Amino acid sequence: MTAPIDCDLHPVVPGIKALMPYLDDHWRDTVVRRGIEDLTTISYPSRNPLSFRQDWRDGSGRTGMDVKTLTAQALDPLGTQLAILSPLYGVQAQFSEDLGAAMTRALNDWIAKEWLDRDSRLRASIVVPMQNVAMCVEEIERLAPDRRFVQVLLLAGSETTLGRRANWPIYEAAQRHGLPIGIHAGSMFRHPVTAVGWPTTYTEDYINQAGAFQTQLGSLLTEGVFAKFPELTVVLMESGVTWLPAYFWRLTKFWKGLRSEIPWVSDPPTSIIRERVRLTLQPFDGPPDAASVMRLIEHLGSDEMILFSTDYPHWQYDGADPMPEGLDPGLAAKIMEENPLKTYVRLKERETTR
């Protein structure tokens, strides 16, 4: 059986104390002086059943806070060959750009030292301080020489739509370093998750993340990011999958009528998206049987778009196997290994050290 490449896992920051050694003196003092509490991952409240698999929780109600636990729970049982860590720790939600950038640097350095240095199967996303584009580029430049960082991580809930020109230096830097842009569910909490105000339940928040992904994909496409950066790949992470075929057919229909407005989008959105956009598998929101998955692939028009992921330590599938059952072995091998290797060029460099 193919050893999978897990494209979405979330190491959990045990608390702000873990990052203190990675903050410089000024910011360490600031955390103490201001009494800054943990930047809790409010997107994934600890007590929510989806946040952590129940039987993996430790006494604190959480898990995945160290390499040993994460590899024992997420990598070893599946025989995973490589895994891309994407920490979600609320650094993007800080209103101070400087504090956001300092926390982001600490988080990335903590990942390199406490995780990547300790298990050769691990890779990571570069978290960037989305509060400020220049600071994002600075962080990409700082970490890109470490080839274990394999993509740039953005959140779907950004302050402005991601296609806007102001964000283009991020894409320029990512393309130049061979780093895909990963857009993960989550938010800077500048806007409600819906276009018509704040929902009142976690269920609504969770289901409406797909709307944010649609907006971002439409923005990247119509503003011309794919045309301007022809080598850039975008990975939609934890977005679900089944909304995409209907969305891109709809987008293509309106493109046919309105394309004079966006002449730089010279190909139909369906073909651009098939070529340049990828999606992580979990949480898989289609029927889990092989026939339905095959129909979905048919609707997508490509079997190269889906990338294996567990979304550890979140748990959104039945049993122990994140893959839908009964898939054709060829398709399963593509999802588990071939598609990730094609998407993340740096994964092919197995013997990478800083």
Using CB under 5 A as the criterion, which residues of the chain lie in contact with Zn ion when the complex forms? 8, 238, 311
Q: Whole-angstrom Cα distance, residue 171 to residue 181?
A: 8
Q: Which has the closest alpha carbon to 111: 74, 142, 82, 84?
A: 84
Is 3 within 8 Å of 323 (Cβ atoms)? no
Partners of 260 in the beta sheet?
Answer: none
Q: To the nearest whole angstrom, how small is the minimum distance from the Cβ of residue 184 to Zn ion?
A: 6
Cβ nearer to Zn ion, comparing 23 with 84:
84
CA atoms within 13 A on the CB side of 305: 27
Nearer to Zn ion, 205 or 238 (CB): 238
Residue among 325, 239, 342, 338 nearest 281 (CA): 239
Quote the least distance from Cβ 245 to Zn ion, whole Å.
21
Our CB check for Zn ion shows the closer of 12 and 331 to be: 12
Nearer to Zn ion, 125 or 222 (CB): 125
Residue 41 beta carbon to Zn ion: minimum distance, rounded to whole angstroms: 11
Q: Which residue is nearest to Zn ion (CB)?
A: 238
Asked if 121 and 80 touch (Cβ cutoff 8 Å), the reply is yes
Cα gap 77→325, rounded to integer Å: 17
Question: Which ranges of 115-162 does DSSP label H, i.e. alpha helix?
Answer: 133-143
Peptide bond into 283 cis (omega under 30): yes
Smallest distance, Zn ion to C-beta of residue 69, A: 17
Considering the complex, state which of residue 51 and residue 233 has its C-beta at the smaller distance from Zn ion: 51
CB 188, min distance to Zn ion, A: 17
Specify the residue, 57 or 259, whose C-beta has the smaller distance to Zn ion. 57
CB of 234 to Zn ion, least distance (A): 15
Q: How far, in Å, CA of 311 to CA of 63, rounded?
A: 13
CA-based radius of gyration for the chain: 19
Which residues lie closer than 8 Å to 40 by C-beta, 6 or more apart? 90
Q: For residues 88 and 251, which CB has a smaller minimum distance to Zn ion in the complex?
A: 88
Shortest CB 172 distance to Zn ion, Å? 26
